[in-house]
Amino acid sequence: MFKGSMVAIATPMNEDGSLDFDSLEKLIEFHIMNKTDAIVSVGTTGESATLDFDEHSQVIQATIKFVNKRIPVIAGTGANSTSEAIELTKKSKELGADACLLVTPYYNKPSQDGLYHHFLKIADEVNIPQILYNVPSRTAVDMQPSTVFKLSGHANIVGIKEASGSPERSKELLDKCSQNMSIFSGDDKTSMKDLVLGFQGNISVTANVAPLQMHEMCRYAINGENEKAKKINNKLDALHDNLFLESNPVPVKWALHRMGLIKKGIRLPLTWMNKKFEKILEDSLIKTDIIIKN
């Protein structure tokens, strides 16, 4: 159902932190023009943690409207409260999302049994394709492949975004779960290797600023054209690192602003990127031909 380079899109904001829908439309057209395969709206990169329920829904609704069925829209609807995740998922289905992305509950550190019942209840309650999301570095909980396997038989659970960055984990998920669900990389640094192993796509931060390159890298890797994929990925390698000089999405928002695509807006407790990182990130954008040196 979903394949290739799927951007975890940033949520544009004005300098006062209010939502900037004009820039969102501009950003979406940029992705359509550069062959992004799907858009993930209001995930971690979309600052889901600081958008209230109404804003969350407004951004998803606007994204669906601006995309206008040209590519799939996957709504980020995860929460550390099962009832809240159900509410967000129901609303996203009502708005017309093609699927939902559900991060493991963060901070409260549920057991594997708790994770299983959390995702099972959401899948039972809302009839929409759902992609699980495991990112232990952010959530302080690591969903094990055995738990994913137990969930993979549910008709509404169609995939997992795995962002542990572990090659051993990638192989185990493929061995246990790939017959029942799609497996997507959530770590740009290791995504090419994951795609070569058999992952179906990458839900990407780097694709925010290098959508065409990420689309082509994913396409080549999925099709077995490994040398072509490697050539693109080698060029992007420093950018994969430098987009995490500070917490995501701080660097990616700076880069998008430098590219003239969004305004200088981000929400507390995140702040605009420290000036000491500007040259490092700018050099990465120049070396990958994203911007031209002044």
Catalytic residues: 133, 161
Other beta carbons less than 10 A from residue 74's beta carbon: 28
CA distance 276 to 111: 40
φ/ψ of 32, rounded to 5, equals: -60, -45
Identify the DSSP state of 153.
T
Do residues 158 and 99 make contact, with C-beta atoms less than 8 angstroms apart? yes
With helix as H, strand as E and coil as C, how does 2-23 read? CCEEEEECCCCECCCCCECHHH
φ/ψ of 99, rounded to 5, equals: -165, 175
Tokens in use for 209? 């600023």
Do residues 158 and 133 make contact, with C-beta atoms less than 8 angstroms apart? no
The partner residues of 160 in beta bridges, in order of sequence, read: 132, 183
- Coil, strand or helix: which one is 248? coil
